[in-house]
Structure formats: C-alpha cells, structure tokens
Structure 1
Amino acid sequence: MRPELERLQHIEEQLLRGPAAQPAAEWQLQLLLDPELQADAEAQQQLYAGLRAAGRRQLRSELAGIHTRLYGPPPEAWPHRVASWLRGAFGRN
C-alpha cells in the first residue's frame, strides 16, 4: 500500500477506534512530534463532521417526505391549497 494511504488508514483507525487502535498518550505524542499528522488528523475530523451533518440533513429530508406521504402537507399549506382550488373552480388564474 502507498505510504499516503497507510498514513490515512492510521489516522482513520485512531479517530474511529480511539484507544483500541493506539494508546492515547502515544497518539498525542505523535501529533506533537509531527505537525503534518496533526493537520491531517484535524482535516479528517472536519471531513467526518461534514459527512455526519450532510447525513443528518438527508435523513431529515427523507423523514419529512415520509411524513408528508403519510399525513399530507403541513397544516400551514391548506389555505394555499383551498385558494388554488377556488381559483380553479371559478376559472380564475
């Protein structure tokens, strides 16, 4: 495996597994001794945070769609639907 990929794998293992991958003291020492490792680890943490936020937004959107399919549009939309129906019923646009 390429050294860059091994480095990324090492960072991911530490971030995802925590002390199970490597004791925290050793990890902190490596971060102190290697500023590039620290920058890469911070970038990876930001990437994970962004992915979690995007996943939450997608899940909220999917849940809102399911709710709309089950219960219809939100209550605040009914005046617009009635007005649209009235315009259509009386031929006004």
Structure 2
Amino acid sequence: MRPALERLQLIEHHLLGRPTAAEAAQWRVQLLTDAELAADAATQQQLYQALHEAGRRQLRHELELIHRRFERQTRRRDWLQTTTNHLRRVFSRQPRASQ
C-alpha cells in the first residue's frame, strides 16, 4: 500500500475505529511528536464533522419535504371531508319525494 494511504488508514482507525488503550496512548505520542500528522488528523476530523453536519442538514431537509407533503394531503383530505359533510347535511334536510 502507498504510504499516503497507510497514513490515511492510520488516521481513520484512530478517528473512526476503536483503538486499544495501548494504540490510543501511542497515537497521542505520535500526535505530539509529528506536527504534520497532528495537522492531517485535525483536518480529517474537520472533514468528518462537516460530512456529518451536511448529512444532518440533508436529512432535516428531506423530513421537512415529507412533512409539507403530508400537510398538503391532510388539508386536501380535510377540505374534501368538510365539503362532503356539508353536502350530506344539505341533502338530508331536503324533503323526500313521496312514492
């Protein structure tokens, strides 16, 4: 594997994985001694946070669209039900023709 990919895999393991206590301690030492690794890890963490936030915004937007669609359908149903009830009342008041 290329060194850049190995480095990214290492960063991902520590940011997304579940490193052991020994790995976590070694990682903290590496971050203290390698400023470039610390910067790369910080950048990757910011990227993950931005992706997470973008996903939340997208989900919120989709839920709002579903809610609006449901509201429109409910209003249509309510309007139809109100109109139907009104017509039933009007027709039930009319005298029936005798046979």
The 2-side partners of 1:9 and 1:47 are apart by 15
Question: Corresponding residue for 1:89?
Answer: none
TM-score, length-scaled by structure 2: 0.68
Q: CA RMSD in A?
A: 1.8
Moved over 6 A (4+): none
Q: Among the aligned pairs, what percent are the same residue? A: 60
Larger Rg: 2
SS at match of 1:55: helix
The 2-side partners of 1:55 and 1:19 are apart by 25
Question: Corresponding residue for 1:49?
Answer: 49
The one-letter amino acid of 1:31's match is L
The total of aligned residue pairs comes to: 73
1:31-84 per-residue CA deviation (whole Å, 9 max, x = no partner) reads: 0111100000000000000001100100000000011111129xxxxxxxxxxx
In the alignment, structure 1 segments of 5+ residues that lack a partner are 74-93
1:33 aligns to 2:9 (yes or no) = no
TM-score, length-scaled by structure 1: 0.72
